[in-house]
Structure 1
Amino acid sequence: MAQKPSIPKGTRDFSPVEVAKREYIFGTIKKVFQLFGFQPIETPSFENSATLMGKYGEEGDRLIFKILNSGDYLKKADATLLDEKNSLKVTSQISEKALRYDLTVPFARYVVQHQNEITFPFKRYQIQPVWRADRPQKGRFREFFQCDADVVGSKSLLQEVDFIQLYDTVFSKLGLAGTTIKINNRKILSGIAEVIGAKDKLIDFTVALDKLDKIGKDGVVTEMLSKGITEEAIEKVDPLFGFTGSNSEKLDSLKGMLANSEEGLLGVEELKSIIDRVEVLGLTSAALEIDVTLARGLNYYTGAIFEVAAPKEVKMGSIGGGGRYDDLTGIFGLNDVSGVGISFGLDRIYLVMEELGLFAPVALAKPKVLFLNFDDFDVLKLKAIKELRNESINSELYPDFGSSNKKIKKQWKYAIDREIEFVVSEINKDEQFVLKNMQTGNQQECSLQELLQVVINS
């Protein structure tokens, strides 16, 4: 007996209804991207490994799917490394390409490669799948879509203000109220690391701090200690674990905490500038909240960082995130091109909307007119279908011929199950179409022109 087929863990099939709901989210986000002046690009699903590796930190690199070289990929591998089972060193010899981990690094590569064709500031959006070798769980998949928008070539904080407005506009149009846009600044985190004496442990500090909502304070402290951050330094950072108050109060507290860090104070000033403008403009569906423990463990962020939390009644990880990166293109040879971008997690947004019942009933594509197939007039029916389609009316002929009672019933059942509005059951000897309105039950004989009129005017 053949083994039942399956799909890899962390991937999914989507039914017609699910695809329609996903397309609704895609379409909404795409329209808002365009409303805010962004242009679409696409990049390959896989990149050269050198493009991706080393851009996401140690943990990110570990989650990149590597693609084996074609042919006899072990032939060029060092036999000693194979014997030692040194997978890290062997990988570089047997794999030169990898599936993209996100859309931001490929975008940076695109900007550098096409810099002479681009008008700066360049505003792009990109809606494509990405892959991560993560442990699958609710809301976390190994293959998922990202919906990104980025601006490169501008250092203005007005871009951050615009992205917050963009998030709010999308969530408003989706009817997704109660989201929280969390904001922080990597300069603030660098300043905190500086004042506690852990400047040389900045990456370890931010990676651990970013896990606060997942592993709690004790887990973060344990990880920091394991990375060589001293108990004295952790004691100094303890106020961050219970940082409360309004955005204004948090900014005042940070000013005091970072009084001896020039970089930290610059981060506070940037944060204040963004928040002041957003408060004047106002938000419709989302709330903006400073979260000083927000770190987003990706190494390329240098300024403002964002993360969007789902409404509190839904247990879900972040449904969006992003931030400012001052020189991401520099890793590919184009220096001093600042950028900022955000991403929507489509798959998690879908799960949140499903749980909250926010989707309208889905109308799947189907024929408005179905021609049954149990007489010898299929050519006339195909001509009629062509005329209907020329009028942009969805039409089709039931493909399998059958004149027995059983096969005729099967065709009618198909029409009923798909809730088709009009059925042409047969063509009589005068070449008149027998047309039935399945909603009213009315049946009539008509010419092709009369059929067109009835269907068009319905």
Structure 2
Amino acid sequence: MQKPTLPKGMRDFGPVEMARRNYIFDTIRSVYALYGYRQIETPTMEQLSTLMGKYGEEGDRLLFKVLNSGDALRDLSDAELLERNALRFANKVCEKGLRYDLTVPFARYVVMHRAQLTLPFRRYQIQPVWRADRPQKGRYREFYQCDADVIGSTSLLSEVELLQIIDEVFRRLGLRVRILLNNRKVLAGIAEVAGVGDRLVDVTVAIDKLDKIGEDKVFDELRTKGLAEDALERLRPFLKLSGSNREKLAALRTLLASSAEGQQGLEELSFILDHVEPLELGAELLLDLSLARGLSYYTGAILEVKALDAAMGSISGGGRYDNLTGIFGMDGLSGVGISFGADRIYDVLAELDLFPEAASQGTQLLFANFGAAEVSYLLPIIARLRRAGVATELYPEAAKMKKQLGYADSLAIPYVVLVGEEERAAGRFTVKDMRAGTQLQLSEGELFDRFATK
């Protein structure tokens, strides 16, 4: 018999993991709601025409494509089948794909539901996405994103607010982070000053790898893309900038003096810093010119979040996208958004042992089963405890007490309530503290006073 397995990059989640994941989701959801964001959901699958061409060449390769139902091969000739061209095959037999992120489906949603939306529209969305990537630490083929976007406003106050949201989420999670900030207009200005303004995508994709592969290999990659040495030398000063955020901005104003687009990007960064600095964020906010974020739809501010105490890639990120809905036939709608990588945040919190005990707590009280008479007596009491907010179980069989206590111990249930014939006659409840190994006698009223939450 074949042993069951999971596809690579996919995972099961047990009860403790789900409780901890829900702690992350609930934390993010509560902060989004605090800022007036409203929840939506979009389908697992989108038309490939919706997804293709929105994430750059690399993103297109990582899309999971769904084979058409029915006779998917009917439109393929024998010659095309023998050609073994995977891309042409997919284009012929796949019309749908699993969503790669939540932002492009959101843009499609806005276009389709524009008549029902009040602008600016603030939405959040917590759903899984899929990427045909190589699985590795912190990188999965199925993972959750927790997005928030404002669409229908060009105000940079939205960027300021999203930075506050990021700061508040990680403050509540107890995680020290650094927020990296840049602007795609500044990157366009850098490419323009270097004389390679028409190669912006090549430049940004390479620069985005600076932390991972280093400056020399970034320049090697740019050489393979055909950039001349004089262009590389003009790029070098930008990657070596140091000092405070304000000092970097001052240096960039000189370096980008000849680029109107670059100067506009600097003005946008200055506005954000002017309004964020008085808020005294708990997280460090760092202007980082190597931050490029390879996704091709960003047009203004871009940001990324790194954990300070764990070796992990980006755990949150986002940016401004002025043109996204235009590809679906609706021009003039600017948007800005962020996304939390819940799976990576989980791994960091687990590595640093930052999950609170309550995040994985399940049943609080287990009532031992002594037999039919005790069960009939206890069921109404257990029902009232549950209505009072106490997570309560009744062991289903009148098994040996060692087995029932072992069940509680294995599930880390903190209290077991023992009600045998004597306790039932006296209206008393023996409560055993499984951690301390102690026990005490309580009346029904005392039991509710001790454990009821409402």
Same fold? TM cut 0.5: yes
The Cα offsets for residues 390-448 of structure 1, whole Å up to 9 and x where unpaired, read as 4444333322355xxxx44322432444435242444479877673211343458xxxx
Is contact 2:100–2:131 with CA below 8 Å preserved after alignment?
yes
- Residue 48 of structure 1: how far off its partner (Å): 1.1
Give, in whole Å, the separation in 1 of the partners of 2:387 and 2:166: 40
User: What is the match of residue 335 of structure 2?
Assistant: 339
In the alignment, residue 335 of structure 2 is paired with which amino acid? G
Q: 1:78 to 1:152 in 2, by over 3 A?
A: farther
2:185 equivalent to 1:166: no
Which runs of 5 or more structure 1 residues have no equivalent in the other structure? Answer: 445-449
In the alignment, residue 185 of structure 2 is paired with which amino acid? K
Q: 1:40 to 1:432 in 2, by over 3 A?
A: same
- Residue 384 of structure 1: how far off its partner (Å): 4.3
SS in 1 for 2:439: coil
Give, in whole Å, the separation in 2 of the partners of 1:69 and 1:434: 65
User: What is the match of residue 319 of structure 2?
Assistant: 323
The Cα offsets for residues 207-244 of structure 1, whole Å up to 9 and x where unpaired, read as 11111112211221122122222222112101123221
Give, in whole Å, the separation in 2 of the partners of 1:174 and 1:416: 28
SS in 1 for 2:417: strand
Give, in whole Å, the separation in 1 of the partners of 2:228 and 2:6: 46
> After the TM superposition, which of the residue ranges 380-389 and 37-46 deviates more from structure 2?
380-389
SS in 1 for 2:357: coil
The Cα offsets for residues 242-274 of structure 1, whole Å up to 9 and x where unpaired, read as 221111221122122211111111111111111
Give, in whole Å, the separation in 2 of the partners of 1:428 and 1:357: 44
Q: 1:231 aligns with which of 214, 229, 232?
A: 229
How many residues are aligned here? 444
Q: Which runs of 4+ in 1 moved over 4 A?
A: 375-381, 427-434
2:449 equivalent to 1:457: yes
Give, in whole Å, the separation in 1 of the partners of 2:16 and 2:101: 27
SS in 2 for 1:435: strand
Give, in whole Å, the separation in 2 of the partners of 1:109 and 1:210: 27
The Cα offsets for residues 331-385 of structure 1, whole Å up to 9 and x where unpaired, read as 1111110000111111222222223332222452215241415446644444443
Which runs of 5 or more structure 2 residues have no equivalent in the other structure? Answer: none
Q: 1:336 to 1:133 in 2, by over 3 A?
A: same
User: What is the match of residue 353 of structure 2?
Assistant: 357
User: What is the match of residue 8 of structure 2?
Assistant: 9
- Note the aligned Cα RMSD (angstroms): 2.2
Q: 1:300 to 1:385 in 2, by over 3 A?
A: same
Give, in whole Å, the separation in 1 of the partners of 2:414 and 2:262: 64
Q: What does 1:15-414 correspond to in 2, within 5 Å?
A: 15-177=14-176, 179-284=177-282, 286-311=283-308, 313-362=309-358, 363-375=360-372, 378-402=375-399, 407-414=400-407
In the alignment, residue 33 of structure 1 is paired with which amino acid? Y
> After the TM superposition, which of the residue ranges 119-128 and 197-206 deviates more from structure 2?
197-206
Q: 1:237 to 1:383 in 2, by over 3 A?
A: same
In the alignment, residue 415 of structure 2 is paired with which amino acid? E
